[in-house]
Amino acid sequence: MMTIKKKPVKAKKEKILPKRERDGKEIPKPEAAETAAPEVARPKGKTYSRLRGMHDLLPKDEPYLKQLDRAARELAEFFQFGRIELPLLEEAALFTRTLGRGTDVVEKEMYVFVDRDGTRVALRPEFTAGLVRAFIEHGMWNNPQPVKLWCQGPLFRHDRPQAGRYRQFHQVDFETFGVRDPAVDAELITVGYSWFAAVGLPVEIRVNTLGTPAERERYVSELLGYYRSKRSYLCEDCRARLGKNPLRLLDCKEPQCAPVREGAPQLLDWVGEGSKRYFMKTLEFLDELALPYTLSPYLVRGLDYYTDIVFEFYYAPPAAPAGGESLPETAQSALGGGGRYDLLVEELGGRPTPGAGFALGVERTILALKRQAEATGQPSGSHPPELFFAHLGEDAKRRTLKILQDLRPAGFRVAFNFGKNALKHQLEIANSLKVPLVLILGQKEVQDETVIVRDMESGMQEIVGQAKLVNMLKKKLGREQ
Ligand code: AMP
């Protein structure tokens, strides 16, 4: 077992950590974690499995990933968001300080450990805190405002695993700094909505306002009074929330707490005129854009840094689908969400700078796309091959690779199989792939520099010069301008 030399923890790094955390009561020290799970010798032949809550994205998911990635890039380009790449590891305090005590992410879900130099670090559980850190660190308030950034990649939360909930998952994230204007909020919601629209997923937008921190504080004491009076009906987690972060009571997904929430006071009744006006203006923009939104009075999001508008995207299936890998049915099935955080940059030591943004969950969106495909009978995201390239003999195999190099830049999707040499077997594969055309290359064609093009529906075959192949296929597959 690897032993780590214990070094004294540097006081400098601990400066902004609250005492409870410094004492290691909430977050286990690495020494403890290591002794709890020593590395044991594995019996020969015993294979390794994924860690609980971790998952592999397999080639069958790739068409979805590609589609989602393409949509994000195109939207970023159109709406002029600059790409930023952030480290997976940050100082743990960056998250504990911004996301808020009492939030599930900070209390239960962060992957935290002390690095070899004594710094308490965390695998990022979300993007916004890191983006704000980068905004300040690179002095981006000196850039023309707004500063619009986007990124995508893996995040880590030690969540209770279930369908659509993993311990490592991926998000696409868009943020705008420097301008507080309902038009910016509406622009962000449009970008999020368009991402789903680009991949053919119908979504509903839910919106609410959290007002200013002072308004929220007044609301929270009202909320607390109400929930205390219903204590006996609450789940265990909610009883604990009464003493910690009461706003999270509204986030509870337990069915037993749902009726209690139904009667809870609503935030919109407690925010001031200014906050209400701002919110209404944003809704007017959404009306103008004809975006499908609903007011969601109990939407508070799971993190503490939001002010004013918050929003989430939900899959809106055409009809209830039957079977298949299911999405969690409760409010957890939000596909993404975000909001405004006008105080966060200042809170982290930067110049006062308004900000707003949102994150979209990749895995959960893929699940919804699969559901959508089941419900509509239309596979989404897959781009099946349109050509099959069959070879006969070693020379043909070599030449096939050369011709494939010519077909690739022309954008053809070509399947082939070098593991099967008999033409009969290769044609069987072509049949199962339902390609309209098969290219056949034998010894004679290699010598004559030709290819046989077989129409799979009619069975008709033509011999074409290899130099003319690309143009001929473009015509046949309707690719001509
Ligand atoms: P959040 O910032 O927690 O609202 O997350 C935004 C989106 O990321 C959610 O709507 C989900 O689609 C996705 N997401 C959050 N946590 C997980 C998780 N543990 N596993 C998979 N996706 C997640």
pLDDT per residue as tens digits for the range 435-445:
999 999 999 99
State residue 127's pLDDT score. Answer: 97
Nearest alpha-carbon partner for 203 in 283, 286, 314 = 314
- What pLDDT is stored for residue 25 in this prediction? 43
3 or 66: which leads in pLDDT: 66
Alpha carbons 338 and 164: distance in angstroms, whole number: 18
The pLDDT of residue 100 is 73
Residue with CA nearest ligand 1 atom 17: 165
Average pLDDT over the chain, rounded to whole?
A: 86
What is the value of pTM for the model shown? 0.78
Specify the pLDDT at position 365: 95
- Cite the beta strand spans of 231-278 per DSSP E: none
| Calpha distance 472→479 (Å, rounded) | 10
Q: Which residue lies with its CA nearest to atom 5 of ligand 1?
A: 336
Give the pLDDT of residue 36: 61
Q: What is the pLDDT of residue 23?
A: 41
Please say whether the beta carbons of 128 and 357 come within 8 A.
yes
Residue type for position 294: T
Q: Is the CB of 210 under 6 A from ligand 1?
A: no
Q: Which atom of ligand 1 is the closest one to the Cα of 312?
A: 10
Q: Which of 124, 156, 151, 126 is nearest to 55 (CA)?
A: 156
Burial (CB count within 10 angstroms: exposed 0-12, middle 13-18, buried 19+), residue 378: exposed
Q: How many other CB atoms are there within 10 angstroms of residue 324's CB atom?
A: 12
Task: Encode 245-282: b = buried (16+ Cβ within 10 Å), e = exposed.
Answer: bbbbbbbbeeeebeebbeebeebbebbeeebeebbeeb
Q: Which of the four pLDDT bands, split at 50, 70 and 90, describes residue 154?
A: very high
At 378 the pLDDT is 67
73 neighbors 191 (Cβ within 8 angstroms): no
Report the pLDDT averaged over residues 222-251. 88
Of 98, 108, 157, 175, best ligand 1 pocket probe by most atoms within 8 Å of the beta carbon: 157
Quickly state the pLDDT bin for 152 (edges 50, 70, 90): very high
Distance 278 CA to ligand 1 centre (A): 27
- Give the β-pairing of 82-83 and 147-156: parallel
Ligand 1 mutation pick, 363, 365, 366, max ligand atoms within 8 A of CB: 363
How would residue 10 be classed by pLDDT, with cut points 50, 70 and 90?
very low
114-142: per-residue pLDDT in tens? Answer: 999 999 999 999 999 999 999 999 999 99
Mean pLDDT of 418-445: 92
C-alpha closest to that of 358 among 106, 141, 176: 176
The alpha carbon of 120 and the centre of ligand 1 are apart by a number of angstroms equal to 24
Instruction: Quote the CA–CA distance of 143 and 129 in Å, as a whole number.
Output: 19
